Amino acid sequence: MHEVKRVGVIGAGQMGGGIAQVAAVAGFDTVVSDTTDAAVERCKATHAKLLARAVEKGRMEQADADAASSRLTYAVGGAEADGLSGADIVIEAVVEDAAVKAKVFSTLAKRFADPVILATNTSSISITEIGAAASKAAAGADARVIGMHFFYPVPVMQLVEVINGLATEEEVTKRVIALAEAMGKTALPANDRAGFVSNRVLMPMINEAFYALMEGVAEPEAIDGIMKLGCNFPMGPLRLADFIGLDTCAHIMDVLAEGLNSERYRPCPLLRQLVTAGRLGDKTGRGIFDHQK
Ligand code: NAD
């Protein structure tokens, strides 16, 4: 099995930055690439802040934080950045836009030959579709395309959902599971259906909480309280929706409705209405709950 030593991450945002940090802390030589200097600088500053905080809180020794920093490098140029050279795996975490991802994977497939793994952190786009974009650029590259779905915040969340596209080779899945485990995560495999497992199960539950609210079954605090105390959830579904972003929730429901060909997955009218009003949750200060206070 070809061992992963050097990890390339494309997209230095919330998720890409977190994935790169966890890879570097786990001992991998890691490079993060974005399209702009500003994005890369923001990511670098976040890494410095989070590693310093981990030391301050006693979660990490200073020497380990320094070693992780020394393993992190930054590049501008997206999938074309020279700094990505020598990567054994490239993990894509750019914006959730199928056309942008197709372009990134087309570049990666031409640039990186077997056995380099081409992974995507997409939360809702088909891995098979991303694989097809790769194999159009370099025949057979879809065998090396796989979903490596981390959760936010990456340094804290334990799960990596590993999603096989139609053409993903078993060896690639094994190597990705081994990498996720070496990064201190628990990897669980799934196949490529809309929403994979995480969003397929979570989002309809969140959507149902909006229906319960819309129909006056209970007040938001009661809906969340009942699910927290009755089901042992750390956070109620409505609070979680605010945290994820109501626009993201509505978008994923639409993806489920299209992908699973069923209207029962359409976003609840109340969810859509709040998105239209710009009440998107924590990121706008108000969703179901008021976060401005
Ligand atoms: P983000 O907006 O924080 O970061 C995206 C980054 O990608 C930005 O820095 C942007 O400059 C960069 N980018 C855009 N086009 C690029 C390109 N062509 N080449 C290189 N960089 C490019 O977004 P995020 O929340 O980090 O999400 C990234 C991916 O992770 C998405 O596919 C999203 O669906 C997925 N995801 C997000 C979460 C979450 O909770 N935020 C959880 C799991 C998966």
Tell me: the pLDDT tens digits for 205-215?
999 999 999 99
pLDDT above 90 as % of the chain: 98
From CA 102, how far away is CA 137, in angstroms rounded?
A: 10
For position 2, what pLDDT does the model report?
A: 80
Q: Is the CB of 12 under 6 A from ligand 1?
A: yes
**End-to-end CA distance of the chain, in Å?**
53
| 147: phi then psi, degrees, rounded to nearest 5 | -90, 130
pLDDT at 82 over 90: yes
Enumerate domains of the chain plus CATH numbers. 6-190 (3.40.50.720), 199-283 (1.10.1040.10)
From CA 149, how far away is CA 130, in angstroms rounded?
A: 14
Q: Is 85 a catalytic residue?
A: no
Mean pLDDT confidence for 121-141: 97
Nearest atom within ligand 1 for CA of residue 152: 40
For position 3, what pLDDT does the model report?
A: 86
Q: Is the CB of 93 under 6 A from ligand 1?
A: yes
Q: Is 261 a catalytic residue?
A: no
Which letter does DSSP use for residue 184 in this model? T
Q: Is 106 a catalytic residue?
A: no
Question: Could you tell me the pLDDT band of residue 1, with boundaries at 50, 70 and 90?
Answer: confident
Q: Are 33 and 112 in contact (CB under 8 A)?
A: no
Ligand 1 centroid from CA 97, angstroms: 9
Ligand 1 centroid from CA 16, angstroms: 7
Which letter does DSSP use for residue 3 in this model? P
Paired tokens of 61: 């020794």
Nearest atom within ligand 1 for CA of residue 124: 34
Please give the model's pTM, rounded to 2 decimal places: 0.94
Residue-wise pLDDT for 147-202, tens only, equals: 999 999 999 999 999 999 999 999 999 999 999 999 999 999 999 999 999 999 99
Q: Are 130 and 165 in contact (CB under 8 A)?
A: yes
For residue 85, CA distances in Å to 81, 170, 220 come to: 8, 25, 50
Q: Is 57 exposed, middle or buried (0-12, 13-18, 19+ CB in 10 A)?
A: exposed
Paired tokens of 279: 């009440």
From CA 221, how far away is CA 226, in angstroms rounded?
A: 8
Paired tokens of 229: 């105390």
